Amino acid sequence: MKRRTISISDEIDHALEREARRRAVPVSEITRRAIQQYLGIEPGKPRQLPFAALGRSSRGIPARDMEDFLAQGPATVQRLRGAVRDGQPLDLRVNA
């Protein structure tokens, strides 16, 4: 396991400390779980590539738009991936 140093606000630090006490686990465990959830990583499972199957121009998403969709976060990527997989029309609005 790697060790990282990050800078956080006092508000986030207090919230981490409270949650760690409430769950009786180290702050590092709360932080690790939050990062895993944000990145869509499930321990023990291979990570899905967030951009896989999204760039098919025949589906109406040109490659030049991929960065915008990826920047919207994991929920948008999951929604688009599901639509591509299921053959549904894609809703390409920002934060749809």
Looking at residue 19, its pLDDT comes to: 94
Same domain, 26 and 65: no
Q: Is 4 helix (H, G, I), strand (E, B) or coil?
A: coil
Looking at residue 11, its pLDDT comes to: 96
Same domain, 95 and 55: yes
pTM: 0.47
Domain assignment of residue 3, yes or no: no
Pick from 31, 10, 7, 11: which is nearest to 20 by CA? 31
Q: Which domain holds residue 27?
A: 10-39
Distance of alpha carbon 80 from alpha carbon 70, whole angstroms:
10
Number of structural domains (the chain) is 2
Phi/psi zone of residue 17: left (φ > 0), alpha (ψ -120 to 50 degrees), beta? alpha
Domain assignment of residue 5, yes or no: no
Task: Kindly list the averaged pLDDT for each block of 10 residues, start to end, along the chain of length 96.
Answer: 92 95 95 88 71 54 68 72 66 55
Same domain, 58 and 79: yes
Same domain, 62 and 88: yes
Q: Is 1 helix (H, G, I), strand (E, B) or coil?
A: coil
Distance of alpha carbon 67 from alpha carbon 6, whole angstroms:
25
